[in-house]
Structure 1
Amino acid sequence: MSGKGALSGTEVATHNSRASCWIIVHGKVYDVTDFLDEHPGGSKIILKYAGKDATCEYEPIHPPNAISDNLPPEKCLGPVDMGTVKRVEIKITDQEKARLGRLQLRPPLDEILNLHDFEAIAKLVMPEKAWAYYSSAADDEITHRENHAAYHRIWFRPRILRDMTHVDWSTRILGHRSSMPVYITATALGKLGHPDGELNLTRAAAKHGVIQMIPTLASCSLDDLMDAAQPGQVQFLQLYVNKDRQVTRRIVQHAEKRGIKALFITVDAPQLGRREKDMRMKFDAEDPDEVTKSGGEVDRSQGAAKAITGFIDPGLSWKDIPWFKSITKMPLILKGVQCWEDALEAYDQNLAGVVLSNHGGRQLDFARSGIEVLVEVVEKFKEKRGITFPNPRFQLFVDGGVRRATDVLKAVALGATSVGIGRPFLYAFSAYGTEGVDKALQILHDEFEMNLRLIGAQTIADVVPSMVDATNIHSHVVAVPGDRLYDSNYESMQHARLRETTRAKM
């Protein structure tokens, strides 16, 4: 970007200290001097790019509008003539060279047989910072593991001697056709794993006829993701509610105008969970002594995620629901409901549905799995109101821990309209780009075809409660078969460690 009135790179380069710190992001100059000590990732990373172009560091770990949302408008000093900006020399570390070497050793996609395989490869080829952010969960990660293990307490009761020549696993989600009872659920910061970020999901979703839920905190803008969609492609929006309701109104109404078909309001994040794998990664990335010397105190208590979630309103309550209804005609779904009482309240407030979810285990540890809450919700709705599921008036969704079509079919049998899958698609594109997500969705198609035949269901409507035994779903200490693939991918949490000593220079 260049032109009349643009600042010169030479001038920007003079503002390269704590006393006066300017940085360039996407061709614009920002004065971040007063923001240094507030930056959740610490001041050191900003000072590294003082007077320089910080776009390469900024882009993967921030949504497109993060800098404008966190700085007063007057701190944007205008465009810079990029022809005068000295390029930042990127030094490739030995660690990065080794990672790039592993990237070349990825197996071909025809050797990837299941969603676990994507995670196994992604763990080896992703940047360490990205792996820590995507894989981390709250506290001891009990809920993160339980989300998957809960499906092991549900067993099938297959039916036999039914004509299984033709099977159809397509369905309708909030009235929109989907090729399978799965949607791509919202996950933040796609560019951490791949330069194209969430665009990988948009492209693959179009090819396979599944619905993508766009995150508020996507690395790509809403408009970019909607512009990349094919004609007629259905997209939903996940919403974190801003303390400034006018910001939220603008986001929602813009999304509706662009053609978003449903709004999923996240309700389980009045405060961010402590994701310690992510926190340790950030702690190691910055020397606390240097921060102390520079006079700034940095709050690292939430890890990398805190940098992008400070705007979320902890005051969000049931009283806000009428306001949401007043600003949009989109169906409203509450994402993060964790008990039948709240699900029933959502029904009574005439919402379109709920996602029974604990945020992928990233919020409250020892929150129950979505599939367990589903059993409770279906039981109580029938007991209290005589309501049965699936129900077009009020749809139940589940996410967290899903790795196989069998997991999805268990949820469908128990009353879910559809199931959200998040991390596996992140790992798929982190390792293989759009082709990885394409392969992941094809794997699910293949699994659905096989498993519908084997349980004796010609269509999704034939997947009924009598096809599963969920007797032990509420028994958290019952013995279940271990999932060796899942367990081998799971990275155990680490204790604090002694610092490594370095040999003194001679």
Structure 2
Amino acid sequence: MNHDTPDKLPKSQKWSGEEIGKHSTDSDCWVIIHGRAYDVTEFKAEHPGGSKIIMKFAGKDATETYDPIHPPDTLDKYLARDKHMGEVNMETVEVEHEADPDEEDRKERIKRMPILEQCYNLMDFEAVARRVMKKTAWAYYSSGADDEITMRENHSAYHKIWFRPRILHDVETIDLSTTMLDSKVDIPFYVTATALGKLGNPEGEVILTRGARKHNVVQMIPTLASCSFDEICDAAEGSGQPQWLQLYVNKDRAITERIVKHAEARGVKGLFITVDAPQLGRREKDMRSKFDDVGSNVQDTGGDNVDRSQGAARAISSFIDPSLSWKDVPWFQSITKMPIILKGVQRVEDVLQAVEMGVQGVVLSNHGGRQLDFARSGIEVLAEVMPVLREKGLQDRIELYVDGGVRRATDIIKALCLGAKGVGIGRPFLYAMSAYGLPGVDRAMQLLKDEMTMNMRLIGASSVDQLEPSMVNTRGLSMHSTAVPSDTLGLNVYDPLVNPPEKARL
């Protein structure tokens, strides 16, 4: 401890910037967050993003970097009260803003962005967001694993499914409502969990909450949200809006149990345990995005040394338990009465195992193409799984959901025809939020509703329960070499991987 300054100040006094600056060494490290000083000397070693980023702001104001990737209650939860050192006189603190050569150009692009009414589909929001988001945020949201083949396949797989419409059915009145885990919703999609909402919008995930509340769709709350869990719950409180929790399982099971029980106490209607992320995948766009000091070179995953110094994803992932296995399912069943759903199931054998274990549902998902490249699309797995469940008479024992690549209401209809209870949509709502805020999310959801009403009429179904396998042809789905129709919108929006320039390689 640096003895030039006292450990605490009287409540009526505030630290000066000069005094905070004296605590800037590895053995005596303080930072300023939202005008308050915190002693993070001992916490550095436990920080999921590593100690390097903390040392960069030792003795300085770290608020600007801290905000987008931390819920506001993080310090209250994880830093002992005696390490909260008191208020700082911010007039005496020199705030450093990192120079971003693209920022002025980005502000000009924002001035020229299309008006909201010019967005006619979810791809339009992605195209606008790509131009107006900060490069680091865009890289984090848009990146997929390795060569991003699975990420693209998630979308293109839907183009291999063709409709077999019925005619002369009364479709004057269309009912899109359904139930998911016994919650009644107005349309069969949900906002799936996506991390770090404040990278795209300063208000973060509560914008998605408000949009979902207006349209009566489910929001899945992410473990790695920028807003606190309680903030997101509070934004829905009193509305009857159903919410689910996506859970990354912590190595410390006491922490996991506390999170699960708190969620249940807040009225969360489903626990979605992520099972496809024992280690976060290699997302190269994110790694190149100048998050070049958001962590250390140590990742606690059984001795596997992975450089987490590049990329937001790896900077927030070290707490995830790679030892999670089927043997943990009974423990979860013992600590909660919430329905348990395994998120990230990718083959029929594991669905059957989930039925045997007595879980209430699975999400057929490859993590938005962000984990294992060359994993099959969720919709392809669904087409494989459902006939087996029906053959064994198990179709009513478990609810199936699918996510990844959904961009049109026709995609939703195809998934429901094949037996899904609903589909998860993530990135498109992030892009709508990042470009236009709540009005963007509202319009994106309304566009999907309008598309779905029209396409339900055209396929010959007046309600969700009329959608069944005979309405689709899936013969080309498992043939990965089969050509698909050229997807002009998708190809124009897709942001390809870029190799570093020759100069950087030398």
- The reply to whether TM is greater than 0.5 is yes
Q: CA deviation at 1:17?
A: 4.3
SS of alignment partner, residue 103 of structure 2: helix
Which amino acid in 2 is paired with 1:281? S
Q: CA deviation at 1:7?
A: 5.8
Inter-CA distance 49–471: structure 2 relative to 1 (3 Å threshold): same
Which amino acid in 2 is paired with 1:179? D
Q: Which deviations, in whole Å up to 9, do the C-alpha atoms of 1:284-310 show, x marking residues without a partner?
A: 67999xxxxxxxx99336622122111
Q: CA deviation at 1:260?
A: 0.7
Inter-CA distance 138–500: structure 2 relative to 1 (3 Å threshold): closer
- State the partner residue of 1:364: 372
Q: CA deviation at 1:68?
A: 6.6
Q: Equivalent of 1:448, from 428, 449, 452? A: 452
Contact 2:48/2:319 (<8 A) preserved = no
- State the partner residue of 1:375: 383
Extract unaligned runs of 5+ from structure 1: 289-296, 502-506
SS of alignment partner, residue 238 of structure 1: strand
Q: Equivalent of 1:133, from 121, 134, 140? A: 140
CA distance in 1, matches of 2:493, 2:160: 21
Contact 1:182/1:210 (<8 A) preserved = yes
- State the partner residue of 1:237: 245
Contact 2:288/2:310 (<8 A) preserved = no
What's the RMSD between the two structures over aligned residues? 2.6
CA distance in 1, matches of 2:98, 2:325: 48
Match status 1:430 vs 2:430:
no
CA distance in 2, matches of 1:85, 1:358: 49
Contact 2:70/2:227 (<8 A) preserved = no
Match status 1:108 vs 2:115:
yes
Inter-CA distance 487–416: structure 2 relative to 1 (3 Å threshold): same
CA distance in 2, matches of 1:210, 1:41: 33
- State the partner residue of 2:6: none
Contact 2:35/2:90 (<8 A) preserved = no
SS of alignment partner, residue 398 of structure 1: strand
Inter-CA distance 500–353: structure 2 relative to 1 (3 Å threshold): closer
CA distance in 2, matches of 1:280, 1:83: 33
- State the partner residue of 2:345: 337
Name which of structure 1's ranges 161-170 and 117-126 shifts more when overlaid on structure 2: 161-170
Which amino acid in 2 is paired with 1:243? K
CA distance in 2, matches of 1:256, 1:421: 24
Q: Which deviations, in whole Å up to 9, do the C-alpha atoms of 1:384-414 show, x marking residues without a partner?
A: x2234xx3x4100000000000000000000
Which amino acid in 2 is paired with 1:401? G
- State the partner residue of 1:300: 308
- State the partner residue of 1:292: none
- State the partner residue of 2:415: 411
1:257-272 paired onto structure 2 within 5 Å? 257-272=265-280
Q: Equivalent of 1:458, from 450, 459, 462? A: 462
CA distance in 2, matches of 1:348, 1:38: 38
| TM, length-normalised to structure 2 | 0.90
- State the partner residue of 1:274: 282
Inter-CA distance 394–6: structure 2 relative to 1 (3 Å threshold): farther
Q: CA deviation at 1:35?
A: 6.4
Match status 1:212 vs 2:216:
no
Q: Which deviations, in whole Å up to 9, do the C-alpha atoms of 1:2-56 show, x marking residues without a partner?
A: 9718761342122234564311224443334566688776766544432122112
SS of alignment partner, residue 24 of structure 2: coil
| TM, length-normalised to structure 1 | 0.90
CA distance in 1, matches of 2:14, 2:55: 20
Contact 1:273/1:302 (<8 A) preserved = no
CA distance in 1, matches of 2:294, 2:243: 38
Inter-CA distance 496–284: structure 2 relative to 1 (3 Å threshold): farther
Q: CA deviation at 1:335?
A: 0.3
Inter-CA distance 48–310: structure 2 relative to 1 (3 Å threshold): closer
Name which of structure 1's ranges 116-125 and 173-182 shifts more when overlaid on structure 2: 173-182
CA distance in 1, matches of 2:49, 2:317: 12
CA distance in 2, matches of 1:78, 1:301: 29
Q: Which deviations, in whole Å up to 9, do the C-alpha atoms of 1:456-482 show, x marking residues without a partner?
A: 000001111100001111111011112
Contact 2:33/2:62 (<8 A) preserved = yes
Q: Equivalent of 1:252, from 246, 255, 260? A: 260
Contact 1:334/1:353 (<8 A) preserved = yes
Q: CA deviation at 1:77?
A: 4.0
Paired residues in the alignment total 487
Extract unaligned runs of 5+ from structure 2: 1-8, 297-304
Match status 1:181 vs 2:181:
no
SS of alignment partner, residue 375 of structure 2: coil
SS of alignment partner, residue 236 of structure 1: strand
SS of alignment partner, residue 194 of structure 2: coil
Contact 2:36/2:88 (<8 A) preserved = no
Contact 1:415/1:465 (<8 A) preserved = yes
SS of alignment partner, residue 420 of structure 1: strand
Q: CA deviation at 1:107?
A: 1.0
Contact 1:282/1:304 (<8 A) preserved = no
